[in-house]
Amino acid sequence: MTLLAIESSCDETSAAIIQDGRILSNIISSQWVHQQFGGVVPELSARAHLRWITGITEACFTEAGITKHSLTAIAVTYGPGLMGPLLVGVNFAKSLAYSLDIPVIPVNHIESHLYANFLDGNHPGLPFIGLIVSGGHTLIVRVDEGFVYRVLGQTRDDAAGEAFDKIAKMLGLGYPGGPQVDKLAKTGNPHFVELPRPMIHSGDFDFSFSGLKTAVKIFLNSNKELASTHINDVCASVQDAITDVLVTKTKKAAIAHGIKDIVIAGGVSANSRLRSAFNELSEKQGYRIFLPPPVLSTDNAAMVGLLAELKSANQTLQPNLELSPVPNLVI
Ligand code: KG4
Ligand code: ZN
């Protein structure tokens, strides 16, 4: 089976060729136009997707050494995401599929993040606990046989990536903020400022990150001089607080469900502190932790193709409505 996969839900234009579980090519173009605004501008994103999607797809065929005539199907992200950007990817996929007389496989973006971990033979077993942490979502799911998902908990306000981005903005760092906080935190003291761990003892699997944001803002406002000379320490303290909550809650979900396989996914799974904390959990407490290679943590088309291929093999081609009950687009 040879698939072309397209991802355009936010500010990455990406195309990939997947063949029998292998990534033949995966090209990701990040849109830097949003940096000056400190966040993604949907209309600019849609226009950038439109400008790049054909060239990126052509480059993908060249890199994979195949032509469009070898394709079996085209997989595309249908949502959740920004409507304009999604429309570009979906319409591109539909028209190319129509011209080649092959099917389109609609893929849920949140679901696909998990499958960045299904690259080689070392797959998680079922059931597994999934932690999906991105700029738009933070949730813990239980995944059972047949792509059956149960959402165990989710954020009640900001996503973890959004908290990274907004706190980075308060610190005068660029967008996206997560990678910048990660970089500066490497030389910082995580105990510099004691920050709250929101909902860490709440007894459920939900999250809340808006209070953490407020706590950082209050600290910065009342310690302007000190904070300006200790940005690395503030970054390390923020990163530690977010990591602490994510790891503690995921572990609690695994214990409650008696599951040892834990899959981490989404942009925030690229965070070095989060990765080391989960690796520690694996070494000390015997959990099998699956972390995607950093390049597949953030948005990319390879994960879309990997999931579509698995679903085709299992004849489960329906979009997953459990993870986003109101599909953004009906294909
Ligand atoms: O999955 P993703 O690429 O897009 C969405 O589906 O939202 O995630 C993007 C998010 C952004 O909030 C970004 O700041 C965060 O992932 N991120 C990170 C790191 N790399 C990306 N957060 C913390 N540390 C990182 N190294
Ligand atoms: Zn994403």
* Contact by Cβ (8 Å): 60, 71: no
The band of 326, judged by pLDDT with boundaries at 50, 70 and 90, is very low
Considering every ligand atom shown, identify the ligand nearest to the alpha carbon of residue 177 and give its number: 1
pLDDT band of residue 119 (cuts 50, 70, 90) is confident
The predicted-structure confidence for 219-236, as pLDDT tens digits, reads as follows 999 999 999 999 999 999
pLDDT at 325: 47
Interval 125-135: pLDDT, tens: 999 999 999 99
Residue 53: predicted pLDDT: 98
Q: For residues 267 and 86, give the distance between their C-alpha atoms in angstroms, rounded to a whole number.
A: 18
- Cβ of 270 less than 6 Å from ligand 1: yes
Task: Flag whether 287 is in a domain.
Answer: yes
Residues 111 and 137 in one domain: no
Res 327 pLDDT > 80: no
Total domains present in the chain: 2
Please indicate, yes or no, whether residues 99 and 132 belong to a single structural domain of this protein: no
CATH number for the domain harbouring residue 107: 3.30.420.40
pLDDT digits (tens, 9 = 90+) for 164-218: 999 999 999 988 999 999 999 999 999 999 999 999 999 999 999 999 999 999 9
Atom index in ligand 1 nearest the CA of residue 272 equals 26
Domain assignment present for residue 146? The answer is: yes
270 compared with 312, residue with greater pLDDT = 270
Confidence of residue 123 (pLDDT cuts 50, 70, 90): confident
Tell me, in angstroms, the distance from the centre of ligand 1 to residue 103's CA: 31
CA of 303 to the centre of ligand 1 (A): 15
Are 271 and 163 contained in the same domain? Answer: yes
- 235, part of any domain: yes
Q: Are residues 228 and 308 in the same domain?
A: no
Q: What are 10-61's pLDDT values in tens digits?
A: 999 999 999 999 999 999 999 988 888 888 899 999 999 999 999 999 999 9
**pLDDT at 319 (0 to 100):** 59
Regarding whether 145 and 88 lie in a shared domain, the answer is: no
Same domain, 237 and 301: no
Residue type, 2: T
Q: Which residue has the higher pLDDT, 150 or 318?
A: 150
Task: Look at residues 321, 319, 322, 320 and name the one whose alpha carbon lies nearest to residue 104.
Answer: 319
Asked whether residue 327 is assigned to any structural domain, the reply reads no
Residue 134 domain boundaries: 124-291
- At residue 321 the predicted structure's pLDDT band, cuts being 50, 70 and 90, is low
Torsion sign (Cα): 245, 248, 254, 255: negative
Is 305 found in the same domain as 271? no
- Kindly state if the Cβ of 292 falls inside 6 Å of ligand 1: no
pLDDT tens column, 57-109: 999 999 999 999 999 999 999 999 999 999 999 999 999 999 999 999 999 99
Residue 136 beta carbon below 6 angstroms from any ligand 1 atom: yes
Clarify whether residues 133 and 281 are in a common domain.
yes
Pocket test for ligand 1, best of 112, 180, 235, 268 (most atoms within 8 A of CB): 268
How far apart CA 257 and CA 221 sit, in angstroms, is 42
Question: Are residue 96 and residue 198 in the same domain, yes or no?
Answer: no
- For residues 280-291, give the mean pLDDT: 96
Report which ligand 1 atom has the smallest distance to the Cα of 11: 4
- Say if 323 falls within a structural domain: no
Does 318 map to a domain? Answer: no
Do 219 and 278 belong together in one domain? yes
Instruction: Say if residues 264 and 274 touch (Cβ distance below 8 Å).
Output: yes
**Is 106 inside a domain boundary?**
yes
- Whether 198 is in a domain gets the answer yes
Query: Looking at the structure, do residues 93 and 236 belong to the same domain, yes or no?
Result: no
Token pair for 74: 């085209």
- On whether both 8 and 54 belong to a single domain, the answer is yes
